[in-house]
Chain A
Amino acid sequence: MSTRNYWKRMSHNRLSRRTLLRASARAGVGATGLALVGCGDDDDDQQAVVEAQPQQQQEQEQPAQQMQQQQQQQQAMQQEQAEQQAEQQAMQQEQQEQQAEQGTVQAIEREEAEQDEQAAEPEVDLDATVRVAIGRYTAGLDPQRSGSQTNYVNGACTFDAGMSNHPETAALEPNLVQLQEIVDPTNVIFHVTPGVMFHNGTPYTAHDLEFNFERVSSAADYHQGGETSDHPNEWASARQAFGTDNFASYSVIDDQTFAVETPVPNASLAGSIMSGAVRHVSKEYVIENGDAHVDGVFAVGTGPFRFLESDPDVGAKWTRNEDYHKARDGLTNPRLAWFKDFEVQIRPEPLAQIAGIEAGEIDAVYNLPTDVAEPYRDNPNFKVLYQPSSQPSHYIMFNTHDSVAEVDGVPNPFLDIRVREAANLAINRQEIIDGLLTGTEGPAFGPYRGTIGYPGEALESRYHGYDPDRAKALLAEAGYPDGLDIDLHIVTDFQPIVPIMALPVQEYLEAVGIRTTIKEYLSSEYFRTVRTFELPGMFWFFTNTIAEPETVIGSGVTESGFYAVSVYPETEIEELYQAQNQALDPGERARLLEELYVTFYDNYSWLFLTEVSSATITSANVNWPVGSAELRGEGTLSAIQKLRDA
């Protein structure tokens, strides 16, 4: 019997019982009343009442019997009083019965509510197998490959990062290492979390931490593989993502302690070097087996799942690491998994992924375009969940570099803040959100996603809004009464929404006089083109989901950033960037970051567009809880709960 039928039947039962109770209570009251009336003197009185009218008629006919008549009247009054008393008693009895009935019904309802509650929280199946579909899973089991965009799933399942983030605040939390201990502004110490074990049974120590730093920063001594493991891309990515360029020196103090010295105070150090961009391998295992083995044969880490097997065309399998160092019911992911076995199935076509859920072959699919998930929103067989996409906040950068001081022989229009303001006022973000996106997104305010605490009130109160008339006036004031022509460069294969959203953006801009020509690129060309800073115009860009602000502002806001197309040396932006990065006090850093964000926003530094969501679809019997700052994805797989008989 299906659960739904069970509860339907129970619902019917509840009504029947209630009705039955009410009926029996009323019957009881009636019976009691009849019993009261029918017992003792009252019984005779009642007969007298019934017979009174004929007797009174006789008294009228016979005045001599007046006294008797008065007596009879008194008796009648007494009878009436007795009847009233009986009625009162009956009413009291009825009230008592009703109260009793209500009490009983309430008790039953309480009991049923408890049952409902228990039923609403079906038991989590700790022995379940969870299957997730993803579009692509390329070869390479080395987590440093994972750090370079090839295999996030294996990286997050088999391996661990130095630290994790609080699910609600995104603040750093201990994982393989504890929070840093600041000895002085340029010296910090990291204590290894005791009791962490690799899947092969060896303990995680400060020597492993050091090994991983060295492996990604100057990996030559450790690259023993041939052509299979020395792709330079992985190491280049890891080195930079790891932030080890910030080290002046480092050393192992003992098995549990690792010390780092930086050239200048570095507030983002822990967030960078302990982030999930690089997962930690076992020094002993890698040296014993070689990088090629680690990359191509078997993966051994400390993560919440033990690797079993993989095929880049079919998928991969893991099983729960029963000795995982974090509790199942803890807040921070990853955790001791709520299910036993984990499978990833490769399904390049999103509709085939969703079909897999409907057919019961797949439990969850994440990071889907929202339009793909839209038809399933009201389907009871699915849960559709929205969250920030992997590029959650979209904006357009104005190229203000020295190399484009002039465009077509005239000064670069974006060096004038009025033109930048006009561009920002030209866009009706809410219309884009309601018409093109899911309606749940908000406007973009800067280089971060909204779920990690920004924008605050200070930014929200500055919202640029939509004012095309003011935009036209600003353009005219800036010397462009007839508008201007400029290129809008976009990447077409990175996020499907970009080329779609570019069209209304183009129309809004044109409506105020900023006539754009959309230049489309594949991502393989786009990111390199952006970095030349030589092409004039506007460049579509987006932020990432990493909580550490440095990962975006270090590349997109500061003047030396890889993708800092919009630079404004005349403002305080650079000064604030440097100051926040050296502010070791978290409160002070937060204040400086906010000042930086406000200054950046007030400067109309970018054309701030909107947030963009992605969708997760799970089957109805799957819970995938995450905190407000967490995203459903590789990092939270161990939080998935598969329910029994839901």
Chain B
Amino acid sequence: MQFVNLFLIRMIQTILVIWVVVSIVFVISRLIGNPETSLLPFDATNEDYERIREKLGLNEPLIVQYGIFLGDAVQGNLGYSYHRTGAALTIVADKVLGTVKLTAAGLIVALGLGLPLGVLAALRRGSPLDWLARLIAVFGQATPSFWLGLMLIFFLATKVSWFPTAGAEGFRSLVLPAFALGLLSAAGFMRLTRSGMIDVLSTDFIRTARAKGLNERTVIMRHGLRHALIPVMTILGIELGRLIAGSVIIEVVFSWPGIGRLMIESILQSDYPTVQAGLVVIAASITFGNLIVDMTYRVIDPRIRMAAL
């Protein structure tokens, strides 16, 4: 029951976060440009401007526009795109799968690289492997993802033609963007796993496990890693948000059809409804992602579950 209550409280917090984000976007997008100027040609008359402002409801005071927007939003209507055909939310929803694929692949790269490297580095502390792992971590955290993306295209797509340079056709086209997206998070996971493992391996219960005669593999995987992963789980939600945000640039670099690319295009065209719908979806993804991580965290760590109670 306590758990359900906690879930409900977090749900309300999540909805509040989305509302705040959307409200900020609503105000900022109206401060940075007028959509009618991007919709109309250079030689449009003042009458054309007035007509389109009237049609788009832009002549209303900002607070009225905001009220209309919120009223429509709670009914799932985030308006119609100014430049594309159809409802903004539908257009964004069509791109969700692309971004989910990319983000998931990026997460797999991040965990697939970060965790094993972190464990190995901790087990062979001070060895060349440890140095290498830490070097990779520094490189990953210091390298902008768009630059890494361009380098990957240059070397692995144009020079050796192992992967396509762009697009979203098949598994091969996912590899480079996933790697470019996931390397930064992989570095974070690696460092956390390494430090967590080093801490855990020097604790009494690990010593006890070894004294009991358990083999080293069981000691590390069952007792050591399980505890070392708790801080990793803590930042998983944050990294998920970072991956979704990072996908905006990666989608542009790799011509990957997703929400990020749609957002960039819509911002350039002052397509408010699509920008707002995209941000609602992104904000919801990140906050719900965090919510799920938070809940999972409590499930896997009895101490936190008990603390919450």
Contacts and interface: CB of A to CB of B under 8 A. Distances in A.
Interface string B2-41: 0000000000000000000000000000001111111111
Contacts of B164: 359, 361
A16 B35 CA distance: 72
B42 A313 contact: no
B37 A240 contact: no
Contact of A352 (B84, B165, B268): B165
B158 A355 contact: yes
Contact of A349 (B38, B253, B257): B253
Contacts of B83: 138-139, 150
A61 interface: no
Contacts of B161: 359-360
B41 A348 contact: no
A525 B36 CA distance: 10
Given A314-B167, A352-B153, A352-B166, A231 B39 contact: yes
Interface stretch (B46-54, B186-194, B216-224): B46-54
B38 A523 contact: yes
Contacts of A312: 84
Contacts of B43: 237, 240-241, 555, 562
A356 interface: yes
A228 B165 CA distance: 34
A525 B150 contact: no
B117 to A, nearest CB: 29
B35 A231 contact: no
Interface in B158-213: 158, 161, 164-168
Interface string B254-265: 110100011011
Contact of B158 (A136, A140, A358, A525): A358
B37 A527 contact: yes
Nearest to B154: A355
**Residue from B35, B166, B269 whose CB has the most chain A CB atoms within 10 Å:** B166
B253 A233 contact: no
Interface in A352-378: 352, 355-356, 358-361
Contacts of A10: none
A209 interface: no
Given A528-B37, A555-B43, A296 B264 contact: no
Given A232-B52, A359-B164, A524-B37, A237 B85 contact: no
**Residue from B80, B253, B255, B268 whose CB has the most chain A CB atoms within 10 Å:** B255
Contacts of B158: 355, 358-359
Contacts of A348: 252, 255, 261, 264-265
A352 B80 CA distance: 31
A523 B37 contact: yes
Interface string A97-129: 000000000000000000000000000000000
Interface string A548-563: 0000000100000011
Interface of A: 136, 138-140, 148-150, 227-228, 231-233, 236-237, 240-241, 295-296, 311-314, 345-349, 351-352, 355-356, 358-361, 493, 522-525, 527-528, 555, 562-563
24 contacts: A139-B84, A139-B85, A140-B84, A140-B85, A149-B41, A232-B52, A236-B40, A237-B40, A312-B84, A314-B167, A345-B166, A348-B252, A349-B150, A352-B150, A355-B157, A355-B166, A358-B158, A358-B165, A359-B165, A522-B32, A524-B33, A524-B38, A525-B33, A525-B34
Given A236-B51, A351-B150, 14 more contacts: A138-B83, A149-B41, A236-B45, A237-B43, A241-B41, A296-B85, A348-B252, A349-B252, A349-B255, A358-B165, A523-B38, A524-B35, A528-B34, A528-B49
Q: Which 3 A-B pairs have the closest CB atoms?
A: A313-B257, A237-B41, A524-B33
